Amino acid sequence: MKGLIFDIRHYAVHDGPGIRTTVFLKGCPLACRWCHNPESRGTSSEPIVTKRRIGDKVFDENEMVGVRMTPLEVIMEAEKSRLFFDESGGGITFSGGEPLMQSGFLYETLKLCREREMHSAVDTCGLASSDNIQKIAELTDLFLFDIKLMDDQKHIKYTGVSNQVILNNLHLLASMGKKIWLRMPVIPGINDTPDDIRKLMNLLIELYPKVKNLNLLPYHAAAKSKYDRLGLDSSDYVFNQPTPEVMESLKLKLSQTGYAVKIGG
């Protein structure tokens, strides 16, 4: 069995506790307009153009995003960082894309993590069948669970799908007693209106104290060049970046729920 991986990063310090190795699985059921990993969406390998300058000459290098790897190959790559995990209380994080889209592969890889006493985190958008998510949850030490928009109509508009299944899965994981850190991208004017925040706070209160951690991820426009390199239209990928002041005041407000709110991963 092989999974489609588009990147593996060591010294990932924003994807869970400690120093981590993050494995990016390719393919995502959502189409968030602010997505900063557009190369992660498709479920097959795809070409990307890299411009390299040597002296005055510019070379267009065609590379492929996405390689097929076995669970063991992935784990052996992560094992390179084992000592860093041990020293820092870190481990492996599966991100994407949406790792649950390759749940069979994910399951086998997580099994290896358990055997090898490697702490595992799954960074998910939450869209998966409840059977699937339950099965994965048995082998996962920590979920990094994305909350994007509470308003379903807006969720459909900006991500292409309803948030019903996502929210059900969140409740399911919480009821299983799984450790969850919520993550919310902050896109000014899109998901930080008073109405959005009020609904979000209701959810937070409802989940408390089973869930106590929330990370606010300020939207950044850094990925525009990636859209271009992939030959994708980036005209939709235009949002305002939140100012540090906006982030701080949001953090202060959400902290009232008793959550440990952190800006950044």
Binding footprint of other proteins on the chain (CB under 8 A): 9-14, 18-19, 22, 52, 54-55, 57, 59, 61, 80-81, 83-84, 86-88, 90, 264
Looking at beta carbons only, is 89 or 160 nearer to other proteins? 89
Looking at beta carbons only, is 56 or 233 nearer to other proteins? 56
Q: CB of 240: closest distance to other proteins in angstroms? A: 21
Burial label for 177, CB within 10 Å (0-12, 13-18, 19+), is exposed
Q: CB of 178: closest distance to other proteins in angstroms? A: 22
Tokens describing residue 248: 């701080």
Looking at beta carbons only, is 89 or 258 nearer to other proteins? 89
Question: What is d(CA 79, CA 7) in angstroms, rounded to the nearest whole number?
Answer: 16
Q: CB of 155: closest distance to other proteins in angstroms? A: 28
- Encoded amino acid at 183, one letter: R
Q: CB of 115: closest distance to other proteins in angstroms? A: 23
Nearest alpha-carbon partner for 167 in 184, 147, 153: 147
Looking at beta carbons only, is 60 or 115 nearer to other proteins? 60
Looking at beta carbons only, is 116 or 171 nearer to other proteins? 116
Question: What is d(CA 84, CA 91) in angstroms, rounded to the nearest whole number?
Answer: 9
Q: CB of 226: closest distance to other proteins in angstroms? A: 15
Q: CB of 65: closest distance to other proteins in angstroms? A: 16
Q: Given CA atoms 157, 158, 164, 165 in this order, what sign does their dihedral have?
A: positive
Looking at beta carbons only, is 43 or 213 nearer to other proteins? 213
Q: CB of 138: closest distance to other proteins in angstroms? A: 29
Cα 66 to chain centroid distance, Å, stands at 17
Looking at beta carbons only, is 22 or 102 nearer to other proteins? 22
The residue with tokens 């990094």 is: 144
